[in-house]
Each structure stands twice: as C-alpha cells, then as structure tokens.
Structure 1
C-alpha cells in the first residue's frame, strides 16, 4: 500500500537524523495536525508521535509525545501495520514505546515510574527480532537498565 503520510514521516526523520532537527520537528508537527484533522489513523499517530518525541528540546515535551505514541498504539492492529510493512507486528512496537517512557521518567528524576516502564519494556523484548532494529532496542534497554541501577538522570550516550 502506498502511504504518503509514512513517506513524509520517513523523509522528516531522515532530515532530523542528518542534523536538521528543527525543520524535521516542524514537518512532523504539521503531519500530526493533519492526522488529527482526519488525514490519518492511529498507526500514523503512533509513528509520528514516537519520532516527534525524539526531536524535542525539552524533556517534559518528549514525555508528552511518547505518551501520545503509547496511547495511539492501542488503536493499531497488526493488519493495519502490515499494510505499511508486512513484517510489522504491534507487539514489536511495545519494547521501544515502553523504553522511551522509561527513559523519559528516568531523566525527569522519577525512578519509580521509570522502573515500571522499564519492566514493561523488558517483558515485551521477546517480540524483538534478531535484526538491526531488535539489536538497537536491546542495546538501549541495556543502557537504560544500567542508568537506572546507577541512579543516573543524565541523557544516554549515543542515543
């Protein structure tokens, strides 16, 4: 299925990763508004919010976008995700969504909430494949776990 919204999300994320964070953030915020007005669905909301969170300058704003991503995933089915990519399963989204929230709460100094989301991430990590994405999320899971054990609220290195 051709998905214009996802093509635009991918392009914006690539710009953000190339250092154009502000313009990528504006583009994703524009897409969020369009989706909210009826130009998309919960799959789009989840993906846009998840990537938009990583482009925030303020930790509290990052938490709000990660919460939106988690809320939106409830309305996503495997069938809908597979319209975009046949290999996607909603359960495979969960470790990353939970891990993002764990790290947000950790960095905001709420170790209790951070541990709750960290445990949810760990409990769903079996849904990750033995591919690059699975390795990336598992690596971040290890880093967040170490940071929680150390009581650190500092940003993760290389995240």
Structure 2
C-alpha cells in the first residue's frame, strides 16, 4: 500500500505525536496502542509498532516492539517500509547496547550503516507542478520553494508516490492547471532530508531530491486530486510550521 496521511492508522499516529508535543505521553501511548490494535495490514502494523516502542518503560519491552515493527516492515515488502530499515536497525542496536548485548548491537549498527547512501527506489517517479511542459524537457534546480517563497531551491524534488506529486501540484505557484509529470533522474539522488526520519521512520513518502535535472518522459492525466478541505488543512499546517527547510 502507498503511504497517505489520510490512512486512519497514520492519522491515529499523528494524533499521538500531537499529544507527545503537548506533554501528554500517557495519552499518546494509549493512541499508539489503539493504532496497533486497529491496524489491518503489515504496513500499518509496522508504523504503529514503531510508536508503541518508544512508550515502553524498559529496554526489553522497547526491543520487543522494535523487533515487531521490523518484522512487519519486512513482511510489508514495499519501498516505503524498506526506507525505514536503517532507523529500525539503529534503534534496535541502541536497545541491545543498553541491555549489554554488544555483539547484537554491533550487528544491527552494521546493518544500519550498510543501507546508508543512494536510495534503492527504482520508481517510477513523479513531479507535480502547474508549468506547461513537454516530453523531453528538463526540470532543473533553482526554482522558488512552494513552502517558503523567498527561498531559492538548490535541488529539484520528486517522489515515487502519485498522491505526493499531486499535492505538490496543488501547492505549486502559477495559474496553470495542476500537472503530474512522469520523470527520470539524470544523475544521483538522495532522500529528501526535510521529511526523512522526521515524523515517521525512514522516507515513507518516497520523496527525493537531486542536483541533476529530471527528464520529463510522460504525464499522468488521471490522478486523485486533493479535496478543498484536505488542501486547506495542509496549508494551515504549513502556516503553523516553524521549522527550517534543509536546502
């Protein structure tokens, strides 16, 4: 399944994170456990278990839930879940280290380190915009940010999730119609550090960026648009976000 903020388990976890930020850890832990009990597939269970883990009161229980999250992520077997492996391995290593299991800790630190670097995602990839472009055109870095208009971007951004590209198209500057182009990276790319390991483990939105241009190879015509309510909610969250963009 694709990651989406409209998924009910994801929404439970977002509510739990809001309670954490409000200094209500017990209520947050209850919501995360509720998310685990309501999860219907391995991808949802992996996300919920990750958050249940950090509300355990001892390292042994935390390790059990992290191992559960890893097991579910392995069973989910999709690129979004795979992106979380380094985070899960690193967290498991820290628990093993705290429990005095140095050999196990070293094993998991090594696993985490082995997955660092260029993402393995093979796409297809998409870029959302209001610009009227043609197959063969190149998208390059240097445009203004959709989120901070005064910021000139050093990278060109793209995603492997159609709904993510659609959201970017909705937020893009310009008066043209919303477009989602199919693109190919022409050089190396990296996980978008603005979303990777922020609220969720790994890069669940499969968001990437590159210094190299993106080549347009097609356009999607039929894709799900944001509802006015969803778009307004996202704009309100952006307006309240005080974090800096990693450029």
Deviation of 1:32 after TM superposition, in Å, equals 1.4
> Contact 1:53–1:63 (CA<8 Å) still a contact in 2?
yes
Normalised to the residue count of structure 2, the TM-score between the two structures is: 0.46
Match for residue 50 of structure 1?
Answer: 50
SS in structure 2 at match of 1:117? helix
Matched, 1:5 2:29: no
Q: Which has the higher strand share?
A: 2
Deviation of 1:89 after TM superposition, in Å, equals 2.9
Give structure 1 stretches of 5+ with no counterpart. Answer: 79-87, 138-159
Normalised to the residue count of structure 1, the TM-score between the two structures is: 0.69
Structure 1, residues 13-46: CA drift from partner, whole Å, max 9, x if none? Answer: 22124321111111111221222xxxx2111110
Match for residue 25 of structure 1?
Answer: 29
Matched, 1:97 2:101: no
C-alpha separation in 2, matches of 1:55 and 1:17: 14
Structure 1, residues 46-69: CA drift from partner, whole Å, max 9, x if none? Answer: 011111111111111111110100
> Contact 1:16–1:55 (CA<8 Å) still a contact in 2?
no
Correspondences of 1:1-159 after superposition (within 5 Å):
2-35=6-39, 40-78=40-78, 89-126=80-117, 127=119, 129-134=191-196
Q: Which has the larger radius of gyration?
A: 2
C-alpha separation in 1, matches of 2:23 and 2:110: 32
**Paired residue total:** 125
Give structure 2 stretches of 5+ with no counterpart. Answer: 120-189, 202-247
> Contact 1:95–1:120 (CA<8 Å) still a contact in 2?
yes
> Contact 1:91–1:124 (CA<8 Å) still a contact in 2?
no
